[in-house]
Amino acid sequence: MQIKAFYPKCVSWERGVVTVFKDFIATLTGEVKKLFMNTIVIAIGVGILSTVFLLSDIPESVPDLVPYAKSAAMAGWLTAVVLITLAVTWAKCGELGAMLRYALSCIPRVAARLGFPNLIRIRGAGSGGNRLSRSLGPGLPSLSLLPAAPAEVAQDQRTGAGYARRVLAAFRRCGLAQPKDGRKEGMVQVVSYQAGPAATRVTVSLPDGFRLSQLKNASEDLCAALGAPTLQVVGGRRAGTANLIIGNHKRLPVYLRPSLEHSDFEKHLERAVLPFLVGVDDVGEPIFSDLVRVRHLLAGGATGSGKSWWLNQLLVTLLLTKSPSELRLVLIDPKKVEMAAYHNTVHTLSVATEVDDAVEILKNLVVEMDRRYKVFKDAGCRNIQQYHKRHDVSTMPYVVTVIDELADLMILAKKEVEPIIQRLAQLARAAGIHLVVASQRPSVDVVTGVIKANLPSRVVFRLLSQADYSTILNENPNTSLEGGGDGLALIEGQHGLIRFQGAGVGGDEDDLERVISKLNDFWRNNSKFAPAKVSLLENAAAVHADTVSVLAQTPLAQPSGSPQARPDSKGERTKMPTVSEEPGKQVFVLSPAASSGQAANVATIPMDGEGRSDLVNVPDLPEPDFDEFEEDDTLLQLKQLIAQTGETRADKLRDMLGVRKARLHELMQRLVAEGWLEPPPPNNPRASYRLVVSMEESRRQ
């Protein structure tokens, strides 16, 4: 009886709770609807007011408010669109829970359509792996191997508003912008501004009658009026505009990873064979290029200029984007420590830390280049790109040779190194062999005219003298480089000098070594990409031993007392004859083998049973005439230089060859005697020589 009495009470209590809950939901729904409507109205109002502000003339007087107005307009219109979409969805679904479920189900589809596939993986989080790392492509390492930029670098807080606000006042202070009758037509106006890690670019419109040359002549006065460390004036993209490149007081470091994560690099990776980062421009936009397109690179920079960091990011980019079956590295490191981290990587084919080994490796590169051209001829191909379309890439990988430091080689073995670099620079590109030559001291005796003429693409960082800039760039830049990665690039196929900020792999040497170690582990564990073989360069020590051996089967041991190679008075390494004793004979090595496939020049002297030899009737060995060899080499270089450039002016040829005036005059007279050149008329001694033979005929000769 008590249970029956209690049951109706429980039912009525439950119904009361349900009723109260429904009333609460209804009230909450009404309040949410009111909030939706009010927020939509406010968002639309903010969007309208901000848009009207941007379209009016007010931003010209207060340019520092433009970024905030743009943000407010974007936030207002975006909020209004989102809330209206949710309201329509609410009306469609009928209840709040269904609306939320419908909105959540749309997130993966919308993310996939917008190109954010990582957002789809949120639903499967917790299954392991780094879900947010980006990859360069199938089978390539993830960019998460690179150090991320620090928070203060990743979030650039410079808006350029401070410079833009002071530009008009600086123009008026320098007397460059005087209003005509109180009208704006006679004033310089700020069009836009954009900040980067090293500088801020302010674009201004020039009034009628105002010339860009006036602005360039007043650049120093404007720099002082703005209180900026540096200022450069360049023409704008649109007619009647100019760009002021204003240096920031604090230069922000540039890291490699953000540049490779840029959408432009993904597009560049599709068409580039050996992609690399030149740097970022004045507003932080990355500048990419292709080593195959620029052929070879010449880099110069004093200590602390950022040259080594730039060279490291180039190598790391190549290791990231190319497998060992596609790319092999040849490293010539006379300093022994600059590229020590790369010595044991799977990409590295050969390493030379001594000048003798470097010369042998360069000679072997020439032999490998000739071998590849023979393979192209047999296969009916013109270059390595055509060969790769018909054959596997691993059968003939690209070879990038890095020389750091060139000055050490030129001081100790100039006569051997210079013609080899010239030959490789002229012909090695089509064979897939590319040079990256770096020097801290790019003077005329290091970067000679012959080398410079064959390395058209150049990268320059801060140097010690204007003469060094002129040596590499053939001109003196109108701006001073500040060091720390600030550089100029002269890229083949592009007009003029490109100012850039070089990127670093990480914050210090430890970051660089960790990245190289991780990349090496990745490629070593990925058995699908086995290192490609290049037999002539695979073991430099073995090749060097085979080159100087007397016979292919029986190498001759040199006694400890035999004379060694010694430098002559001209700085050349003169090879003295080596001696080896065998049973019943004595062997003199007159000259080593020219290549691994040729035998050396030897002389064998019979010996009696007591180990004595009769040398009475043996003629003396002729002394080599090094002056004759040097003269022939210099004359050949002069012929090649004239045939390639068509230059016959004595002063230009003297600078390119690096010889004295009397020596060049003697060589030019020999070319006149051979019928190559016609001397200037006697009544005009300042006139230049004239090329008698045609350009085609001179190239054939």
Read off the CATH number of the domain in which 311 is found: 3.40.50.300
Q: Residues 226-237: pLDDT tens digits?
A: 888 888 888 888
242 plus 319 within the same structural domain: no
Model pLDDT, residue 183: 54
Q: Is 479:472 a contact under the CB 8 Å cutoff?
A: no
Length of the chain: 701
The kind and range of the H/E element at 275 are strand 275-280
99 plus 117 within the same structural domain: yes
- Residue 317 CA to chain centroid, in angstroms? 9
Distance CA(48)–CA(60), nearest Å, equals 19
The last residue of a domain, from among 200, 228, 247 = 247
The larger pLDDT score, comparing residue 46 to residue 494, is at 46
Q: Residues 333-366: pLDDT tens digits?
A: 988 888 889 988 999 999 999 999 999 999 999 9
3-state SS, residue 326: coil
600 plus 519 within the same structural domain: no
The kind and range of the H/E element at 691 are strand 690-691
Confidence of residue 19 (pLDDT cuts 50, 70, 90): low
The larger pLDDT score, comparing residue 137 to residue 431, is at 431
Confidence of residue 112 (pLDDT cuts 50, 70, 90): very low
553 inside domain: no
- State the amino acid at position 661 in one-letter form: K
Model pLDDT, residue 17: 57
Residue 74 reports pLDDT greater than 50: yes
- State the amino acid at position 53 in one-letter form: F
- Across residues 4-8, what is the average pLDDT? 46
CA angle centred on 164, ends 162 and 165, rounded to 5°: 65
Model pLDDT, residue 698: 52
370 inside domain: yes
Model pLDDT, residue 701: 53
558 inside domain: no
147 inside domain: no
The larger pLDDT score, comparing residue 153 to residue 375, is at 375
169 plus 265 within the same structural domain: no
Residue 376 reports pLDDT greater than 70: yes
192 plus 264 within the same structural domain: no
Contacts of residue 273, defined as CB under 8 A and 6 or more positions apart, other chains included, come to: 290, 291, 292, 385, 398
Q: In the β-sheet with 199-205, what is the strand arrangement from edge to edge?
A: 189-195, 199-205, 241-247, 231-235
| Nearest one of 497, 482, 372, 494 to 427, comparing CA atoms | 372
Highest average pLDDT, of 131-145, 446-460, 558-572, 631-645, comes from 446-460
Confidence of residue 90 (pLDDT cuts 50, 70, 90): low
594 plus 665 within the same structural domain: no
Highest average pLDDT, of 203-207, 328-332, 559-563, 580-584, comes from 328-332
- Across residues 363-375, what is the average pLDDT? 93
Distance CA(600)–CA(615), nearest Å, equals 22
521 inside domain: yes
Q: Is 403:425 a contact under the CB 8 Å cutoff?
A: no
Highest average pLDDT, of 74-78, 545-549, 614-618, 687-691, comes from 74-78
The last residue of a domain, from among 223, 247, 271 = 247
The last residue of a domain, from among 214, 247, 280 = 247
- State the amino acid at position 344 in one-letter form: N
Model pLDDT, residue 502: 92
- Across residues 101-123, what is the average pLDDT? 45
231 plus 86 within the same structural domain: no
242 plus 260 within the same structural domain: no
| Nearest one of 159, 435, 472 to 305, comparing CA atoms | 472
Distance CA(165)–CA(61), nearest Å, equals 8
Where are the alpha helices (H) located in 380-448, listed in sequence order?
Answer: 384-390, 406-427
Q: How does DSSP classify residue 181?
A: T
Distance CA(506)–CA(309), nearest Å, equals 9
| Nearest one of 402, 392, 400, 401 to 325, comparing CA atoms | 392
The larger pLDDT score, comparing residue 475 to residue 505, is at 505
Q: Is 614:585 a contact under the CB 8 Å cutoff?
A: no
Structural domain including 185 reads 161-247
Residue 357 to residues 435, 508, 541, Cα–Cα distance (Å): 17, 30, 8
Q: How do 327-332 and 398-404 pair as beta strands?
A: parallel
The larger pLDDT score, comparing residue 373 to residue 450, is at 373
Q: Residues 172-191: pLDDT tens digits?
A: 888 776 555 555 556 778 88
597 plus 488 within the same structural domain: no
Q: How does DSSP classify residue 669?
A: H
3-state SS, residue 340: helix
Distance CA(261)–CA(317), nearest Å, equals 12
- Across residues 592-612, what is the average pLDDT? 45
Model pLDDT, residue 560: 34
619 inside domain: no
Model pLDDT, residue 92: 61
**What is the CATH classification number for the domain harbouring 681?**
1.10.10.10
Q: How does DSSP classify residue 121?
A: G
- Across residues 427-448, what is the average pLDDT? 90
Backbone angles phi, psi at 656, to 5 degrees: -70, -40
**What is the CATH classification number for the domain harbouring 221?**
3.30.980.40
Model pLDDT, residue 273: 92
> How many Cβ atoms are within 10 Å of 198's Cβ, its own excluded?
27
383 plus 400 within the same structural domain: yes
Token digits of residue 671: 């070319």
Model pLDDT, residue 361: 93
| Nearest one of 498, 510, 502 to 259, comparing CA atoms | 502
7 inside domain: no
User: In total, how many domains does the chain have?
Assistant: 5
Residue 303 reports pLDDT greater than 60: yes
Q: How do 433-439 and 297-300 pair as beta strands?
A: parallel
- Measured in Å, how far apart are the chain's first and last C-alpha atoms? 127
Torsion of CA 487, 490, 493, 494, to 10 degrees: 60
Q: Is 594:619 a contact under the CB 8 Å cutoff?
A: no
Q: Residues 498-524: pLDDT tens digits?
A: 889 999 998 888 999 999 999 999 998
Q: Is 420:410 a contact under the CB 8 Å cutoff?
A: no
Contacts of residue 202, defined as CB under 8 A and 6 or more positions apart, other chains included, come to: 160, 163, 164, 167, 190, 192, 193, 243, 244, 246
Model pLDDT, residue 278: 93
Residue 377 reports pLDDT greater than 70: yes
Model pLDDT, residue 589: 42
Model pLDDT, residue 443: 85
Residue 301 reports pLDDT greater than 80: yes
Confidence of residue 685 (pLDDT cuts 50, 70, 90): low
Residue 554 reports pLDDT greater than 80: no
Distance CA(371)–CA(212), nearest Å, equals 55
Residue 688 reports pLDDT greater than 50: yes
Model pLDDT, residue 151: 65
284 plus 402 within the same structural domain: yes
Residue 408 to residues 71, 357, 444, 588, 682, Cα–Cα distance (Å): 56, 13, 14, 32, 44
568 inside domain: no
Torsion of CA 474, 476, 480, 485, to 10 degrees: 0
418 plus 520 within the same structural domain: yes
3-state SS, residue 644: helix
